[in-house]
Structures are given as C-alpha cells and as structure tokens.
C-alpha cells in the first residue's frame, strides 16, 4: 500500500500566499520578505499591504540593502523606502480555494550619494516568487503499518501483492534529492532497494522517482501513484516501476 498525504489548512476562508526566498514556503501578507533569505539578498521589512488577496496587492515598507563590505556577514545595512506590488495571482494546486502570487515588483527610492552607486530616485526590479504548493505543508507517508511525518520524505516503502501469511516482497526507495515536490507531480533521484519475492535478499538500483496522480480526500491531498525509471542497471524482467495506492474513503 502506498499513500502520500498533504494536509491542507482547516479554514473556511480563502488564503493568499507570497513565497519567501523566491521559491520557498508561502506566507500571508508578510511583514518582511527576502529574495533569497541571505545577508546579500534583497531584503525588506516593516511592510504593510493594501488589497491583499486581489490582483495587484500593494505593499509599502523599507528596503534593507547590504553593502557587503568587507563581506555580507559584516556589511552595513541601509534603509530606504520601498513600494511593492504582488501580481500573477493563481490557484494553489494542492489547496483548493487558496491562491498565491507568482510575481513581485519592487521599487526602491535611493537617495543621492548612496554607497551602492545608484542614481537618486526610484529603481525597479521584478522577482519570480512561485511556490509549488503554497504553504509547503508537511506531507504524511502511510504504508499501512504506521505513519511517518516528513516535509520531503527521505524513505518510501511499498509492499507487493500482500496476502495474509505470505512473504511476497516489498519495495524501498531511499531518496537522495527531490528535484520538485508539492505540486501535481513530484520528481526525485533515489536508490531503489528491491526485495526479492522469496524475501531472501535486497538488490539496489539507481532510479528517477515520480509521485503523481494527486487526489483529494476530504481536507487532505494525496499522491496515489509512485513510479520510477532505471538510470543504469535494472532488475530482471523489469523495465520500470509502477505502484498504485489503493486509497479508500476511510483514510479521510
């Protein structure tokens, strides 16, 4: 059995998110925002928003540029007025009813003689801020014998042809890296540990792992299929891996 679950916010009202670090976890009407969450990133704080949740939400606050002299950890941080516009509103894939902004425009007003060599006046930038699953909620992987909580699972297991009193083998994936996760399709690099049908041993193979077929289950969202293609060697008479989750309503 294979079941990968996303928890969705238990809220009766719609929520609109803006991703932090241009790609990370989403927040609602944030009082601070960063393009990369590092000292040398474009960092802003003291933000207040109007029109949040509609196309073209406007925020005003302070830009905090760092001169990174002698390096960003020891640099001087300055404060200049900034105007921000959150745009590109679209629905959250894994959170029906909620939405996210995918673009952020910033306009910083630099004073004359600033240490960044910028001409006095407004300077505009545009940032892509798409987050795959809006809030990056914790997924739950359930294998029929317990539940493992993990944001991006490092280990997955599926049992094959389970029959009471029999040993029919199991499949284990150890994930080395998730290339994408949280949208309608998750992709990762993994090692596939194949348990022989007689239960005598494991053999391992490098694979490209895919989780897809996102389904709704009450307030939860689940991946109902796991598949993989072999990168080099492959088990005898096995071209690729496909495991489907026989999820039922009692899981909701």
pLDDT digits (tens, 9 = 90+) for 99-114: 889 899 999 999 999 9
Q: Is the pLDDT of residue 201 over 80?
A: no
Return the sign of the alpha-carbon dihedral for residues 49, 100, 98, 181. negative
Q: Which of 128, 160, 178 is the C-terminal boundary of a domain?
A: 128
Domain assignment of residue 2, yes or no: no
Q: Is 66 within the bounds of a domain?
A: yes
Same domain, 117 and 197: no
Q: How far apart are CA 9 and CA 135, in angstroms?
A: 9
pLDDT digits (tens, 9 = 90+) for 142-165: 433 333 445 677 777 665 544 433
Distance CA 218, CA 41 (A): 39
pLDDT band at 252 (very low <50, low <70, confident <90, very high): very low
Same domain, 36 and 72: yes
Average pLDDT, the chain: 76
Q: Which of 105, 128, 151 is the last residue of a domain?
A: 128
Identify the pLDDT of residue 168: 45
Asked if residue 113 and residue 142 are part of one domain, the reply reads: no
Q: Rounded to an integer, what distance in angstroms lies between the CA atom of residue 193 and that of residue 247?
A: 24
Mean pLDDT over residues 220-234, rounded? 79
- What value does the mean pLDDT take over residues 5-28? 65
User: Domain check: are 57 and 145 in the same one?
Assistant: no
Residue by residue, DSSP assigns 31-61 as S-EESSSSTTS-EEEEEEEESTTSTTEEEEE
Task: For residues 17 and 88, state if they share a domain.
Answer: yes
Which pLDDT score, from 0 to 100, does residue 26 have? 76
- The reply to whether 111 and 156 lie within a common domain is no
By the 10 Å C-beta count (0-12 exposed, 13-18 middle, 19+ buried), 89 is classed as middle
* 6 falls within a domain: no
Domain presence at residue 25: yes
Q: Quote the pLDDT of residue 107.
A: 97
Question: What pLDDT was estimated at residue 50?
Answer: 97
- Does 230 lie in the same domain as 124? no
Q: Does residue 8 belong to any structural domain of this protein? A: no
Both tokens assigned to 22: 């241009």
Which two structure tokens, joined as six digits, stand for 188?
């990762």
Nearest to 17 by CA among 29, 2, 8: 29
Q: State the pLDDT confidence band at 170, using cuts at 50, 70 and 90.
A: low
Q: Provide the number of structural domains found in the chain.
A: 2
For residues 192 and 227, what is the distance between their CA atoms, to the nearest angstrom?
Answer: 11
| Residues 17 and 124 both lie in one domain | yes
- Flag whether 28 is in a domain: yes
83 with 158, same domain: the answer is no
CA distance 2 to 223: 9
Average pLDDT over residues 193-209: 76
The whole-model pTM stands at 0.53
36 domain-assigned:
yes
243 and 199 within one domain: yes
* 12: pLDDT strictly greater than 70: no
Full residue range of the structural domain in which residue 200 is found: 138-251
The average pLDDT across 230-234 equals 89
Last residue of a domain, one of 67, 100, 128: 128
One domain, residues 159 and 108: no
Distance CA 6, CA 17 (A): 17
Give the pLDDT confidence score for residue 41 in this predicted structure: 84
Residue 64 lies in a domain: yes
């Amino acid at each position: 059995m294979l079941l990968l679950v996303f928890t969705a916010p238990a809220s009766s009202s719609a929520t609109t998110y803006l991703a932090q670090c241009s790609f990370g976890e989403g927040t609602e009407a944030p009082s601070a925002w960063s393009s990369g969450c590092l000292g040398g990133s474009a960092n802003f704080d003291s933000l207040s928003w109007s029109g949040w949740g509609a196309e073209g939400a406007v925020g005003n606050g302070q830009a905090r540029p760092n001169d990174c002299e002698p390096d960003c950890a020891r640099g001087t941080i300055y404060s200049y007025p900034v105007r921000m516009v959150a745009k590109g509103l679209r629905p959250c894939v894994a959170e029906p009813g909620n939405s996210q902004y995918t673009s952020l425009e910033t306009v910083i007003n630099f004073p004359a003689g600033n240490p960044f060599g910028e001409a006095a006046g407004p300077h505009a930038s545009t940032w892509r801020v798409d987050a795959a699953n809006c809030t990056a909620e914790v997924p739950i992987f359930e294998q029929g014998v317990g539940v493992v909580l993990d944001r991006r699972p490092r280990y997955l297991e599926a049992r094959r042809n389970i029959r009471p009193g029999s040993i029919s083998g199991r499949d284990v994936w150890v994930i080395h890296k998730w290339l994408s996760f949280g949208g309608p399709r998750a992709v990762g690099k993994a090692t596939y540990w194949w348990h022989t049908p007689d239960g005598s041993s494991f053999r391992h193979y490098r694979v490209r792992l895919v989780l897809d077929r996102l389904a709704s289950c009450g307030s939860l969202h689940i991946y109902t299929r796991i598949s993989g293609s072999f990168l080099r060697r492959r088990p005898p008479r096995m071209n690729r891996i496909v495991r489907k989750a026989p999820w039922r309503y009692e899981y909701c």
